[in-house]
Amino acid sequence: MWLPVMTFFALGFEHGVVNLFVIPAGMLLGAPVGVGDWWLWNQLPVLAGNFLGALTLVAMAMSLAHPRGPAHTSPDGEPAGQPVTAAPARP
């Protein structure tokens, strides 16, 4: 998994899950970053941005691709996809 994660990071993208790997790896290699600084100045803003981006971009695209509208009806007025009820039997 390290190759796609490092490639994503090398391209300059910020993602909460990627940062859960890259920043602790840098800390293990001697980067002068504390856990509190990492969470306050990187992880929390990145997670907020990822969440807002998903809400606006993904949710908006899904709502535009699948609009809600009136239920489709068949030519006889029955809702589409519903079983057609048989007429009552005559005595």
| pLDDT at site 15 | 84
pLDDT tens column, 29-67: 999 999 999 999 999 999 999 899 888 888 888 888 888
Res. 82 pLDDT band, cuts 50 70 90? low
Average pLDDT, the chain: 81
Half-sphere exposure of 57 toward its Cβ, with a 13 Å CA cutoff?
Answer: 6
**Domain coordinates of the chain in residue numbers?**
2-65
Tokens of 12: 């300059």
What is the rounded distance in angstroms from the CA atom of residue 46 to the CA atom of residue 54? 12
Q: Is the pTM of this model over 0.85?
A: no
| pLDDT at site 83 | 56
DSSP 67: -
